[in-house]
Amino acid sequence: MFGISDRLLDAAIIVIERAHRVDNLGSDELAAMLAGSEAPLVFDVRAVEEYEMSCIATAVQVDPDIGLDVFEASYGSLLEGRDLVFYCSVGQRSSDVLERVGSVCGKAGAKSWRNLRGGIFRWYNEGRAVVDASGLTDDIDGHDPIWGMMVEWRR
């Protein structure tokens, strides 16, 4: 049975996916990709403070306001032949970034570029691992009490 946090997160996902026309993937698919032989390049587009509290292992932090030119200069050479996954807390910021930099991903020869449906909140709520600089953690940035209602707290 779904709790209130899952229902709120599902509602946010519906709104985000209606507003943004980007390809999405579920956390099950990302988990399988990360366990495979050709792991995707994962971009965390949350603020540095959020990223430092916890992130999906191997994720690279990218400024949510990154410009097209800066993204291309910083990451363009890493994209060829790679699957790319962008995430934030629930998918809004990562969808914004993906819409902005999608053309660079295609031009650079990436295999795919997708948004993680439900972001790190869905990932975390499903019991998947998050890390900080010291290793595994149960911490996650819930932003504020309203956004935090979408998180199934482990602590």
Asked whether residue 1 carries a pLDDT value surpassing 50, the answer given is: no
Judged by DSSP in three states, 64 sits in coil
CATH entry, 4-148, from 3.40.630.30, 3.90.1150.10, 3.40.250.10, 3.40.50.300 = 3.40.250.10
- 83 exposed, middle or buried (CB, 10 Å; 0-12, 13-18, 19+)? buried
- Dihedrals phi, psi of 30, to nearest 5 degrees: -65, -45
Residue written as token pair 């291309």: 72
Convert the pLDDT of each residue in 69-123 to its tens digit: 999 999 999 999 999 999 999 999 999 999 999 999 999 999 999 999 999 999 9
Sheet holding 41-44, edge to edge: 24-25, 112-116, 83-87, 41-44, 60-61
C-beta neighbour count of 104 within 10 angstroms: 18
Q: pTM for this one?
A: 0.94
- Dihedrals phi, psi of 55, to nearest 5 degrees: -155, 170
* 40: its two tokens: 């995707």
The CA dihedral of 97, 22, 33, 123, to the nearest 10 degrees, is: 70
pLDDT class for 2, splitting at 50, 70, 90?
A: low
Spatial CB neighbours of 17, under 8 Å, sequence gap ≥ 6: 24, 91, 117
pLDDT class for 3, splitting at 50, 70, 90?
A: confident
Taking residues 53-58, what's their average pLDDT?
A: 96
Q: What amino acid occupies position 88?
A: C
Rounded Cα distance between 148 and 59, Å, is 22
Convert the pLDDT of each residue in 4-51 to its tens digit: 888 999 999 999 999 999 999 999 999 999 999 999 999 999 999 999
